[in-house]
Homo-oligomer: A and B are copies of this chain.
Amino acid sequence: MKTVTVGGNLKLACVMVGLPARGKTFIAQKVSRYLRWLGINIKIFNVGTYRRRDWGASQPHSFFDPNNEEGKKQREQSAWEALEDMFQWFDEGSGEVALYDATNSTSERRQFILEHCNKKDVQVMFIESICDNEKLILQNIMAVKTSSPDYSSVEEKQTAVQDFRNRIEHYAKAYETITDNELTYIKLINVGSKYIVNKIRGYLESRVVYYLMNLHIIPRNIFISRHGESVYNTQGKIGGDSELSPQGQLYAEALPKLISTHLKTQKLRVWTSTLRRTIATGAKLPYPKLQWKSLDELDAGVCDGLTYEEIAERFPEDYANRDNDKFNYRYRGGESYHDLVLRLEPVIMELERQEDIVIIGHQAILRCIYAYFMDLPQDRLPYINIPLHTLIRLTPMPYGTTEERFFAEINAVDTFRPKPPQTHPSPPTNQ
């Protein structure tokens, strides 16, 4: 299916701008994950990685002193190598969006990047992160200390922090914020407090801007759970709008306790689909509830209400084809996983804006949402195992998401079937 996501032969470089400890890498990784989930071919080019490879990971702050001619030359070489790799990646053909992650803290440096991108017909959007809130900066410094490969060999915490502060000072001396109003840019000021957006034109640029404007960094959990076992589940049928089975009803009764045990705050919102089995599963939860049509299960079209055996009998070709490219396979008169991702995009956007949430959903829907948070590729997405009667707690962290699974100890049918080893003829696989 064609979508408006990509307009022709677009090549876009998102160029990060900002002092160290301003969340540039965090932002680059979030944007990358979001666009990859939407099906965009995206790659991050992190200059720090090149610098560490070329000159070693444990350079002292003096390496970053603008008056250190040797250090400056070496850093510029790494920056250039990353840029060259980026252009090569675009030239190879299918690259759509590159994220060029470095400080890029002077007008001269940005002009240099812009000119080279223009020559290569690559559009440029600058993403500048500015922060003058000391508390936020310190938080970031501490996080960098514990996660940056630059300091993995430094044992004394205070030594690392001081060295990093000195490094920031070197950059701060030469730092110039973006003032050229001919450039396409977004400035993020103090993490979500203020944004300045200049000369944004394309669809993708506009999506990235809107996404960035919805991010926050407040710690929170996203709980996901499938509905309790349904009557259709026990009959091996897909789709429909059936009630819970007796076992499913037990899960609905156990869910409030299961959630409250693993909930860190008391402010929770519950999202369900508009189908009976998710509404009934969430019915006992003592939190505000919202029904989203967009969370309804994948529409199986003409196969709705059938068992896999019946599908194999009535639509043998469709059935055989599905495992060849399950992500893009669209049921006759229904939807594909690809369709679901596009349908769920506004849900993801709203999820980013929310704090603690529990989503009572369906197998295919939760696979898409899980894949977004865990950054899983489209070919693996339709085979993610999301069992019945299991609460999954997702915790967004600075550089990824952690997960824990809590089984309710109430038996249910197993609706999961792994990807078959050979795809034709194919054994049964679940939606």
- The reply to whether the CB of A293 lies closer than 8 angstroms to some CB of chain B is yes
- The reply to whether the CB of A265 lies closer than 8 angstroms to some CB of chain B is no
Q: Complex Cα distance A304/B134, Å?
A: 60
Contacts of A203 in B (CB 8 A): 350, 353
Contacts of A241 in B (CB 8 A): 333
Contact pick for A4, options B194, B209, B290, B304, CB 8 Å: B290
Shortest distance between the CB of A306 and any CB in chain B (Å): 14
- The reply to whether the CB of A210 lies closer than 8 angstroms to some CB of chain B is yes
- The reply to whether the CB of A153 lies closer than 8 angstroms to some CB of chain B is no
- The reply to whether the CB of A193 lies closer than 8 angstroms to some CB of chain B is yes
Contacts of A294 in B (CB 8 A): 342
Say what secondary structure dominates the interface of chain A: mixed
- The reply to whether the CB of A116 lies closer than 8 angstroms to some CB of chain B is no
- The reply to whether the CB of A198 lies closer than 8 angstroms to some CB of chain B is yes
Contacts of A4 in B (CB 8 A): 290, 292, 350
Contact pick for A197, options B206, B213, B350, CB 8 Å: B213
Least CB separation from A338: chain B residue: B293
Q: Complex Cα distance A28/B304, Å?
A: 45
Q: Complex Cα distance A206/B352, Å?
A: 12
Instruction: Report yes or no: B293 in contact with A1, Cβ–Cβ below 8 A.
Output: yes
Contacts A4-B292, A213-B209, A290-B4; A197 near B195 (Cβ below 8 A): yes
Shortest distance between the CB of A273 and any CB in chain B (Å): 11
- The reply to whether the CB of A410 lies closer than 8 angstroms to some CB of chain B is no
Shortest distance between the CB of A341 and any CB in chain B (Å): 11
Least CB separation from A8: chain B residue: B288
Instruction: Report yes or no: A195 in contact with B194, Cβ–Cβ below 8 A.
Output: no
Contact pick for A194, options B197, B293, B335, B342, CB 8 Å: B197
List which A260-307 residues lie within 8 A (CB) of chain B.
274, 290-294, 299, 304
Contacts of A304 in B (CB 8 A): 333
Shortest distance between the CB of A188 and any CB in chain B (Å): 10
Shortest 6 CB-CB distances between A and B: which pairs?
A195-B197, A194-B198, A210-B210, A196-B196, A2-B291, A293-B339
- A195-B198, A209-B213, A304-B333 are known contacts; what are 5 more A-B pairs with Cβ within 8 Å? A3-B292, A194-B198, A195-B195, A206-B213, A293-B342
29 A-B contact pairs sorted by A residue (CB < 8 Å): A1-B291, A1-B293, A3-B290, A3-B293, A4-B290, A4-B350, A181-B193, A193-B199, A194-B196, A194-B198, A194-B199, A195-B195, A195-B197, A196-B196, A200-B213, A203-B350, A203-B353, A206-B214, A206-B353, A209-B213, A240-B333, A241-B333, A293-B335, A293-B339, A293-B342, A294-B342, A299-B299, A345-B346, A346-B346
